[in-house]
Amino acid sequence: MRIDLDANATTPVLPEVLEAMQPFWRESYGNPSSAHQSGRRTRGAVEQARIAVASLLHCSPKEIVFTSGGTESDNLALSGVLQPWLDRRASEDKARHEPAHLITTQIEHDAVLSTAQSLERRGIEVTYLKPDSRGVVSPEDVEAALRPHTKLVSVMLANNETGAVQPVGKIARIAKAHGALVHTDAVQGAGKLPLDLSGEFKNVDLLSISGHKMYAPQGTGALFVRQGIELAPILLGGPHERQRRAGTENVPGIVGLGRAAELALAWLEGQNHHLLASPSKLAAEIPGSQSPAELAARRSHFEKRLLALIPEATINAAGAPRVSNTINLRIDDVDGEALIIALDLQGIAASFGSACSSGAAEPSHVLVAMGLTPKQAHSSFRLSLSRLTTDDEIARALEIIPAAVAHFRSVA
């Protein structure tokens, strides 16, 4: 059997999601901008999906912009807020123009980091905050970094490599009091943590999600944009998405994202997501975790057994609050990348948290920012469970992974 322990990279499309999408390829394929019946039908489906995503986030459907995924949402959030400032600067006397400042962190996904670096090259001041050794950014550090002209603070909700959850609610309160806008990349938080934009996150102005991290298809996503925020589109060419994202909508993908959002909400509330679609099935017959608590218990068992079976293994970000599915394991005398390849040959999909540039694997920027040496970062790898991961799969992984590590150690 193949065991997928790489859910933070992508998740499978749930059968209920696929079922909801299917009519929108061949039966109801109208362009949602068309005035005829077929177009009106798909427009209705897009707006239903918008309501479902807004319900997951506790915001107004008007505040949801559908995008092609987390990367586009992050680009749109940062560039959309700061581009108008760059445009004004281009048309005014530079000497008199007030500078603009962005605060972000060293542990962001490249979708945020690369956008921040691009804005920096074009004249935006950028601060990249360092996390503590647990991989958590402190609200006090955000407060200390604020400048009179800080326009935007962008701090991710849950880190993709370690699962460490950032104190975004607190950071947003501080930034808002200062008059800065707040963005959070919630790609790894959506569907795993409750997201309340009218409660805990009421000071967050922009929030990114991605469909393929929450059992919808790849190439789907959304950006929450709080009402009243000025946002320059990065895709031009039409009035779609209230002038914020031009282009004919990916209707099947949006419908899938909407259905996945409904299922995520039910799951977060502890309802069996499968039962929503298949009421005849008994919960006991269905594998996987029926709630975040069940997933957290499965992860915790897996982690404890790994530590017991692999001498001198440690968990990166162990002391941080973490999403319920992620383990970042460090085994100092074993190369993480070689181990991932060996595990793949034995049917386990896991991930090495590094970007491969010009053939050489760079150590994870996240782990290095937390204070690990490049060698320690190279000795780390990620196991991420999905809602569908079963006890049998964990039991099998607990046979394979320690044996693979023992083999590496015996030949070293």
From the list 43-51, 67-75, 372-380, 392-400, the region that binds ligand PLP by CB under 6 A is 67-75
Find the binder of ligand PLP among 11, 42, 71, 290 (CB under 6 A): 71
Helix axes 251-268, 37-57, angle to 10 degrees: 30
| Candidate list 54, 59, 111, 193; residue touching ligand PLP; CB under 6 A | 111
Asked if 69 interacts with ligand PLP (CB under 6 A), we say yes
- 59 in catalytic set: no
> Can you say how many angstroms the Cα of residue 349 is from the centroid of all Cα atoms in its chain?
19
Can you tell me which of 221, 252, 256, 353 binds ligand PLP, judged by CB under 6 A?
221
Antiparallel, parallel or unpaired: β 356-357 and 181-185:
unpaired
What does the DSSP 8-state code read for residue 351? B
Q: Environment class of residue 359 by beta-carbon count within 10 Å: exposed (0-12), middle (13-18) or buried (19+)? A: exposed
Rank residues 272 and 326 by Cβ distance to ligand PLP and give the closer one: 326
Output the smallest distance, CB 209 to ligand PLP, in A: 9
CA distance readout (Å), 164 to 130, 186, 258, 260, 367: 14, 12, 26, 23, 11
- For residue 396, count other CB atoms closer than 10 A to its CB: 16
Rounding to the nearest 10 degrees, give the CA dihedral for residues 79, 83, 86, 91.
Answer: 160
Give counts: helices (H), strands (E), the chain. 15, 14
Determine the distance from the C-alpha atom of residue 20 to the mean position of all C-alpha atoms in its chain, rounded to a whole number. Answer: 23
384 contributes a contact to ligand PLP by CB under 6 A: no
Look-up of token digits 């963005």: 183
User: For residues 96 and 211, is the Cβ–Cβ distance under 8 A?
Assistant: no
Asked whether position 188 contacts ligand PLP by CB under 6 A, the answer is: yes
Our finding on whether 187 is near ligand PLP (CB under 6 A) is yes
50-58, 64-72, 230-238, 350-358 -> range binding ligand PLP (CB under 6 A): 64-72
The reply to whether 323 sits near ligand PLP by the rule CB under 6 A is no
Angle at 180 between CA 178 and CA 182, to 5 degrees: 125
Task: Write down the least CB distance from residue 302 to ligand PLP, Å.
Answer: 21
In this chain, which residue has its C-beta nearest to ligand PLP? 70
Output 160 or 328, the one with its CB closest to ligand PLP: 160
| Residue 311 Cβ vs ligand PLP, minimum distance, rounded to whole Å | 31
Q: Which of 111/119 has CB closer to ligand PLP? A: 111
Candidate ranges 127-135, 183-191, 248-256, 260-268; the one touching ligand PLP (CB under 6 A): 183-191
With contacts defined by CB under 6 A, how many residues of the chain interact with ligand PLP?
A: 14
Q: Which of 238, 356, 374, 407 is catalytic?
A: 356
Give residues in contact with ligand PLP (CB under 6 A): 69-71, 74, 109, 111, 156, 160, 185, 187-188, 210, 212, 221
User: Active-site residue numbers?
Assistant: 356
